[in-house]
A = this chain, B = another copy of it.
Amino acid sequence: MLITKHEDFNYGSIKLFCGSSHHELASQVATFLGVELSQREIVKFPNENIFVKLGESVRGKDVFILQTGCPPVSDNILEMLIMIDAVRRGSAARITLVVPYMPYGRSDKKDQPRVPITARLVADLIQTAGADRYITVDLHAGQIQGFFSIPGDEVTSFHLLSEYFLTKRHEMYNPTIVTADLGFAKKGRNFAARLSMPMAFVEKRRTGNDATSEVMTVIGDVQDRDVVIVDDEISTAGSIKNTVAVVKNHGARDVYVSCTHPVFAGPAIERLRALPIKELITTNTVPIPPERMLSNITVLSVAPLLGEVIMRVHDGRSVGELFNE
């Protein structure tokens, strides 16, 4: 006789901890879930050693730790690993690491000799520390999923961003999707298809005997069209700057920019401020400090998305059906 189980496997009640990287997002997720953020003390001692002490028992609990890959990057990675260790040694039933922006995603292959594959290293470190699962948003390359042997959920901001553009579409004139990086061509195509817009590409090529000058070419048509430049992240905004310049040179009208991760490193904000961008739409996988916020930046929150996924993971319900249309 098969004994009827009244509910599915569970790992104890939920505990949501956040590291120091993105308290605001963690709070939004906690609100969405209807739970309090769990107490923890994080101290950076004068000798720069990071110390973590959990403020409540995690024994037998289903623990989620939210930390994102923003600056200070090395501190945040170490802190994340140390938190996992504390939770693991505290005998949690399950540990799910929630990393909205996975650091080092661009170091995902040896494209030249004698370099590391740091994204794989980061995956290994997370597993070594003791995470049982991970949740992340829009990896730089989907293959990074395969760097983990623990199961995980890569969720995408694609629907969030594309829905937003659908509401904007009527304001745009002959809008065209442009990818600033050929590595994003395929994902750019998905935006184009979803928004029923044509595409164009910007190709960058080194020229001259000394390969020091760079020539940008637009492949496809942007003349007299509104342009939506799409990418997964904006780091120093160098590539966006060049792309805006070249599409403008080729006669583009209004320029919109869309990306999941507003990394905004180094000169990014100064560059973005100076550019003729009508609107930059992004998410809060990475926090934007108030002093680096610009008036033409729209930030969509991934908190409901992460919250919904956490809930389903906790309840043992399908995450996949969230993304089926």
Task: Identify the A interface with B (CB < 8 A).
Answer: 1-3, 5, 7-14, 33-35, 45-62, 71-75, 77-78, 81-83, 85-86, 88-91, 93-94, 103-104, 106-121, 124-125, 128-129, 133, 141-147, 149, 151-154, 181-183, 185-186, 188-189, 192-193, 198-201, 203, 205-206, 217, 219-220, 235-236, 263, 265-268, 311-321, 323-324
Among candidates B94, B116, B199, residue contacting A52 with C-beta atoms closer than 8 Å: B116
Given contacts A11-B9, A46-B236, A62-B9, contact A146 B129 (CB under 8 A): no
Residues of B within 8 A of A181 (CB): 186
Given contacts A113-B319, A183-B185, A200-B219, contact A49 B103 (CB under 8 A): yes
Contact A145 B109 (CB under 8 A): yes
Contact B217 A201 (CB under 8 A): no
Among candidates B56, B107, B152, B319, residue contacting A59 with C-beta atoms closer than 8 Å: B319
Residues of B within 8 A of A144 (CB): 143, 146
Given contacts A182-B189, A185-B185, A311-B2, contact A146 B119 (CB under 8 A): yes
Given contacts A57-B114, A143-B108, contact A12 B2 (CB under 8 A): no
Given the complex of chains A and B, what is the CA–CA distance between A174 and B132 in angstroms? 55
Given contacts A2-B315, A11-B9, A13-B5, contact A115 B91 (CB under 8 A): no
Given the complex of chains A and B, what is the CA–CA distance between A320 and B1 in angstroms? 16
Contact B108 A146 (CB under 8 A): yes
